[in-house]
Structure 1
Amino acid sequence: MAYTSPLPTPRPHLGHAIASEWTKMASVRSTVLTLGSLVLLVVGIGLAAVSQTSGENFRGTPYTAPALFGLLVGQLAVMVLGVLTMTSEHGTGLIRTTFTAAPDRHRVLTAKYLVVAGVSFVAIAASVTFVALAGAIVHHRPDAGPHDIPRELLGGLAGSFYVTLLGVLALAVGALVRHSAGGIAVMIGVVTVPPFTGGMLSMWEATQPVGSALIRYNSPVALMQLFGLPDADTGSIPPAWVHFALLFLVTGAAVAGSYLAVGRRDV
């Protein structure tokens, strides 16, 4: 006679996978430290910038600008978080246990994407909003000029979403390469190499078009556009939606590749 458990056995669903991934993220020291460094960088550098500026510095400049200074560095922490969410399990061998307990690999990967995206966006948006409100409280005086604070906060949220997409892209890269150092190196290259390479290629006439494109299409420029920072030559900088579309295409392709790779590989 077959054994029948007296305990209810509900069918596993995405909610269970999300709860599992959240538990793993909250219990692993490296991910907690990575999130802490993100908040510390954005808030710390942002408040330092607020304390060293005056109201005149914000004439024509949004109150979210100090948060951008920290986010340009803090985005590296988001990318590290995305990579480690996948590669740490490969490094320890826990990925075999995960896929044994939850055979639906696509569900597990979806849960990882949702948890990383949700946690990253909340942490970034809260940090940016805190710094922006601090700047508004300290410097909202007549010499700062008129400010549309809700619109500036909306730009900060758009920038937060952009960096969140970088974290999602990092997770996809981690799923593809399955190596922490390799995944982090790829993401650092994606963010930091284009501006420097563009500057060097712009020195020669033959490669100037490529160099100019790399200078105009990169993460720091995209964030400055989204945060609404003034630019001396706005005609040459693509609008914010172009940067979003480009990142969506790259991230979408990487995510699709990660689903194919995770579904077909042994682990």
Structure 2
Amino acid sequence: MTTPTKTVQPYRSALHPTRAGFGRLLRAEWTKFWTVRAWLLVLAVAAVVTVVISQMGASGSTTGGGPPVVVGPGGEVVNDSFRFTHRTLTGDGTITARVTGLKDASGKGLGPWTKAGIIVKSSLKQGSPYVAVMATPAHGVRMQWNFTHDTAGPSSDLAKAPQWLRLKRLGGKLTGYASVDGEKWTPLGEVGVGGGLRGTVQVGLFLAAPVHEIVHRSFGGTSEVAGSGQATGTFDRLTFQGKSTAGGWTDTDIGAPTADGPNSQPGTTTVSPTGTYTLTGQGDIAPDENSPDTVQMSFQGVFMGLLFMVALGTLFVTTEYKRGLIRTTFTATPSRLKVLAAKTTVIAAITFTTGLLATAIGFTLAQKTLRSNGFKPPEFPDLSLLENPALRAVVGSAVLLSLVAVLALSLGVVLRNSAGTIATVVVLVILPQILSFALPLPVAQWLLRVTPAAAFAVQQGVTYYPQVQHNCLPESGCYPLSPYNGLAVLVAYAAAALLLAAWTVRRRDA
């Protein structure tokens, strides 16, 4: 009599094979990391160093005793100082003038953002709302309003053709126009009239000439050449349509330039019998970009913490190659790309989480210290961790640390050598940052565009407006790329290194 045999069905996971396999790999790589005490120690030291160095940098920075700041309608610090020939306007109205010339009045050269034009301003108070149409020597005709907004108009050369300008207030809107002949008008833009520009306003001619510095840097040092801080503009064909509470035009220096220093001079206005107005003045109507960047000052520890993240990303893979354990890993999991993906995911998640915690704590403590050292509103805003630019800088710095760790891991797969990998990543990420302080500016800015060091731009808290002439110096924390574009450069390097690692791990023996 035969005994019936019972067939045992093999175990089948309810999960998709690919998902089950990758999940197992993630757990395995996670376990590898957390069972190596040295790596945990490096991770902890990276977080502590990031916080401590950021706090030390903030503690060594102080400010105070400067002139009172001017705050614009949006709460930003601004420059608002210019020569103004004006009268009141109540209700709707139009002002038209022709700018016939613009020249330097100091003998130092005309600045590219010297401005001569017409303006509608809420009041004579500095920082009050305004809308202006102007001619500039290097940037053509512009329409600007409330300091931070700028729209380009015709790029006609003022030296060859006078520029007709017009501002019209009608109902709840202000519209700017430009013309080269006074017949055909080109609309420049339309601005909704807010509360500050309703009712009675000041309208008229204005002249502003910001001081500009030209910086030259070579291997022998840095030199600065100061440009003009005073200019003369000529206007004619001035017409005004509308109701005014004043009987004529009044001349005022907005911002009282005589109080700005020994080199400041009061502006002048002369009117010829033929109706030509000549205004001489200085100052600027624009955002003030000379204040220190208190956001970037709160992340000085990230530069040092990055070194530890480079070591972690490198050792996480090169240790297995050095000890031959990578063969065991590939034997257990023949799909090498899955192994690489699991390692990348684990090291990216760990370094990002640690970096986010460290930068958030470091930023919060550094901001508190900076405020106690004089960096207070209104010149320096009281930044919240959960709003931009602080939030972008905190999360971006954590992403930066994570991407550098992924870059190091990828190069570690290619080079299979800890010292060589760490040195390569340091040369790519850290060395350009150091060299940018000493190299000629064009070379330094080129390095900060094409190397992973461009990612440090994500820590910038100052907005650099195109209508303000400024020297972008690396030692001042200025980067040639915007925050997100700079971070994208590092993303591209990390992705390219990861693709190279994937190609290498498939073609090379373990």
TM-score range (shorter-chain normalised) is 0.7 to 0.9
Matched with 1:48 is 56
Q: 1:154: how far off? A: 2.5
Q: Is the 8 A contact 2:25 2:342 kept in 1?
A: yes
Aligned length: 258
2:153 aligned partner: none
Q: Does 1:191 align with 2:429?
A: yes
| 3-state SS, counterpart of residue 301 of structure 2 | helix
Structure 1 Cα separation of the partners of residues 503 and 436 of structure 2: 33
Match for residue 205 of structure 1? none
Asked whether the 8 Å contact 2:59–2:370 carries over to 1, the reply is no
Alpha-carbon separation, structure 2, partners of 1:139 and 1:196: 25
Distance 1:21 1:123 in 2: 17
Cα distance in structure 1, aligned partners of 2:37 and 2:292: 41
Residue type of the partner of 2:304? Answer: V
Of structures 1 and 2, the one with the larger relative CO (CA 8 A, separation 6+) is 1
Match of 2:310 in 1: 79
Other-structure match for 2:89: none
Change in Cα spacing, 1:99 to 1:147, as seen in structure 2 (3 Å) is: same
Question: 1:37 — aligned with what?
Answer: 45
Provide, for residues 97-129 of structure 1, a one-character-per-residue CA deviation record: whole Å limited to 9, x for no partner: 111111111111101111111111110110010
Do residues 107 (structure 1) and 350 (structure 2) align? no
- Alignment correspondent of 1:153: 391
Please give the residue correspondences for 1:1-267 in structure 2 after superposition, counting only pairs within 5 Å.
Answer: 11=17, 12-53=20-61, 61-62=293-294, 65-66=297-298, 68-138=299-369, 144-145=376-377, 146-149=381-384, 150-151=387-388, 152-197=390-435, 202=440, 209-215=442-448, 217-218=450-451, 222-223=455-456, 225-230=457-462, 233-234=471-472, 237-267=480-510
Residue ranges of structure 1 left out of the alignment (5+ in a row) = 203-207
2:415 maps to a residue whose letter is V
CA contact (8 A) 2:355 2:397 kept: no
Of structures 1 and 2, the larger Rg is shown by 2
- C-alpha distance 125-266 of structure 1, shift in aligned 2 (>3 A): same
- Is the Cα–Cα contact under 8 Å of residues 47 and 134 in structure 1 kept in the other structure? yes
Contact 1:217 1:243 in 2 (8 A): no
Preserved contact between residue 72 and residue 220 of structure 1 (Cα < 8 Å) = no
Residue by residue, what CA displacement relative to the aligned partner does 1:199-251 show, whole Å, maximum 9, x if unpaired? 6663xxxxx7545411555555532x312254863487221232122222222
8 Å Cα contact 1:63-1:135 kept in structure 2: no
Letter in 1 for 2:382: H
TM-score where L is the length of structure 1: 0.83
Contact 1:64-1:132 within 8 A present in 2 as well: no
Once the two structures are TM-superposed, the CA of residue 35 in structure 1 deviates from its matched residue by: 0.7
* Rounded Cα–Cα distance in structure 1 between residues aligned with 2:404 and 2:486: 12
Q: Is the 8 A contact 1:199 1:215 kept in 2?
A: no
SS at match of 2:460: coil
Deviations 1:64-99 (A, max 9, x none): 633x21111111111111111110100111101111
* Inter-partner Cα distance in structure 1 for 2:295 and 2:436: 30
TM-score after normalising by structure 2: 0.46
CA distance in 2, matches of 1:196, 1:55: 26
Residue 253 of structure 2 is matched in structure 1 by none
Paired with 1:157 and 1:221, the residues of 2 have a C-alpha distance of 16
Per mean C-alpha deviation after superposition, the further-off stretch among 234-243 and 107-116 is 234-243
CA contact (8 A) 2:454 2:479 kept: no
Q: Which has the higher strand share?
A: 2
- Cα distance in 1 between the residues matched to 2:428 and 2:295: 28
Q: Deviations over 1:135-158 (max 9, x none)?
A: 344555795112342211222111
SS at match of 2:509: coil
Unaligned 5+ residue runs, structure 2? Answer: 65-290, 465-469, 473-477
Contact 2:454 2:489 in 1 (8 A): no
In structure 2, relative to structure 1, the CA distance for the partners of 1:5 and 1:221 (3 Å cut) is same
SS state at 1:49 partner: helix
Q: Distance in 1 between matches of 2:338 and 2:509?
A: 16
